[in-house]
């Protein structure tokens, strides 16, 4: 069942709607037209008690004032582009350097702050559309973006992305949900598994150095589930740069989940599936309690963790990484599934 309501008005005066997708077990997902944002996911714990497992905001004002992309659709290029520039066929493009004036982070936030057009597809799906003009944030091509959200009966939220540009360009889309399966506190006790033998170490600007480093014997080894907090404060150069985990993992080929998370007290279990080659694990390290989130509670350090499925960061400048360039008229597609259950 899908219900549409008015959510609020942006500072610019645009009306924003909230769509609630609900299945027969009362699992519910709230999606905003602002940023095509997954605002809340209500799932039962092992005793049948429901909680919202996304850290974020309950007002539009919160999103506009405090957002670190909580729940948002991110693009055109999720994650970072070094120096805010790259070339395609010998033409250099300078894109928004919205991170400390040095890097382009999350495509300059255009998609995340746009108000998308929404359509109800059927009883469990909605589609959101946004057209980004040629040159937006410095990126080439007018691009038609589409994101479809489907809530299945097995409590899987499927997010399908597509984009078609009228010029050769780069596309890397993700969702930036901050999960907290307890619905409160921090996420350090969540037991996380990531099916990755390697990750991409970063420099001081959080740009991959180009090395594909084995996780073996490092705090980045999540191949067997372990509490996020176990090694997060280990003496490690990479953790020091990110103030915790803020790194891309190179996913192993598999039909199974690329990541799982289990919260022992509630018994809630999350499985993540994707057709993409990377995932950014970000453990909310830069949250410091000064921003106010849902229910007026401060967003504390490690309030949520993100599993941002993606192409590796800075791909347009790293020819050795899998590429995300699309030709004019070529359709970019990707799909990520977040499935909830209890154990």
Q: Which residues bind ligand BGC (CB under 6 A)?
A: 68-69, 79, 206, 246, 280, 282, 286, 308
3-state secondary structure the chain: CEEEEEEEECCCCCEEEEEEEECCCCCEEEEECECCEEEEEEEECCCCCEEECEECCCCHHHHHHHCCCCCCEECCECCEEHHHEEEECCEEEECCCCECCCEEEHHHHHHHHCECEEEEEECCEEEEEEEECCCHHHCCCCEEEEEEEEECCCCEEEEEEEEEECCCEECECEECCEECCCCCCCCCCCEEEECEEEEECECCCCCECCCCEECCCCCCCCCCCEECCCCCCCCCHHHHHHCCCEEEEEECCCCCCCEEEECCCCCEEEEEEECCCEEEEECCCCCCCCCECHHHCECCCCCCEEEEEECCCCHHHCCCCCCCEECCCCEEEEEEEEEEEEC
Residue closer to ligand BGC, measured from CB, 42 or 312: 312
Catalytic residue status for 176: yes
Smaller CB distance to ligand BGC: residue 79 or 274? 79
Set 63, 106, 176, 190: catalytic member: 176
Smallest distance from ligand BGC to CB 200, Å: 12
> Cβ of residue 293: shortest distance to ligand BGC, in angstroms?
14
Our CB check for ligand BGC shows the closer of 28 and 147 to be 147
Least separation in angstroms between residue 286's CB and ligand BGC is: 5
For residue 109, the minimal CB distance to ligand BGC (Å) is 9
Nearer to ligand BGC, 129 or 285 (CB): 285
Question: Active site residue: 96, 110, 127, 308, which one?
Answer: 308
Report the catalytic residues.
Answer: 176, 308
């Amino acid at each position: 069942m899908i219900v549409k309501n008015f959510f609020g008005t942006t500072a610019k005066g645009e009306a924003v709607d909230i769509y609630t997708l609900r299945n027969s077990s009362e699992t519910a997902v709230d999606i905003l037209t602002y940023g095509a944002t997954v605002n809340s996911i209500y799932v039962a714990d092992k005793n049948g008690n429901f909680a919202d497992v996304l850290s974020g905001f309950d007002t539009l004002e919160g999103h506009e004032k405090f957002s670190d992309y909580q729940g948002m659709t991110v693009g055109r290029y999720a994650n970072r582009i070094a120096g805010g520039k790259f070339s395609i066929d010998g033409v250099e493009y300078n894109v928004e350097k919205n991170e400390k004036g040095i890097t382009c982070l999350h495509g300059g936030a255009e998609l995340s702050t746009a108000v998308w057009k929404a359509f109800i597809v059927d009883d469990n799906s909605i589609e959101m559309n946004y057209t980004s003009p040629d040159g937006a944030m410095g990126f080439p091509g007018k691009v038609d973006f589409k994101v479809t959200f489907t809530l299945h009966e097995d409590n899987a939220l499927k997010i399908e992305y597509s984009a078609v540009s009228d010029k050769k360009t780069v596309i890397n889309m993700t969702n930036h949900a901050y999960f907290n399966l307890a619905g409160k506190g921090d996420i350090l006790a969540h037991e996380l598994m990531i099916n990755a033998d390697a990750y991409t170490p970063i420099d001081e600007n959080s740009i991959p150095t180009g090395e594909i480093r084995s996780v073996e014997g490092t705090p980045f080894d999540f191949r067997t589930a372990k509490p996020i907090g176990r090694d997060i404060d280990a003496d490690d150069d990479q953790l020091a740069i990110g103030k915790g985990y803020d790194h891309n993992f190179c996913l192993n080929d598999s039909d199974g989940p690329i990541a799982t998370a289990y919260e022992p007290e509630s018994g809630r279990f999350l499985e993540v599936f994707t057709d993409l080659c990377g995932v950014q694990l970000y453990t909310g390290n830069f949250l410091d309690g000064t921003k106010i989130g849902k229910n007026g509670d401060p967003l504390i350090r490690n309030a949520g963790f993100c599993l941002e499925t993606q192409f590796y960061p800075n791909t347009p400048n790293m020819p050795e990484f899998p590429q995300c360039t699309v030709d004019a008229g070529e359709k970019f597609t990707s799909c990520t599934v977040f499935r909830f259950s209890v154990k």
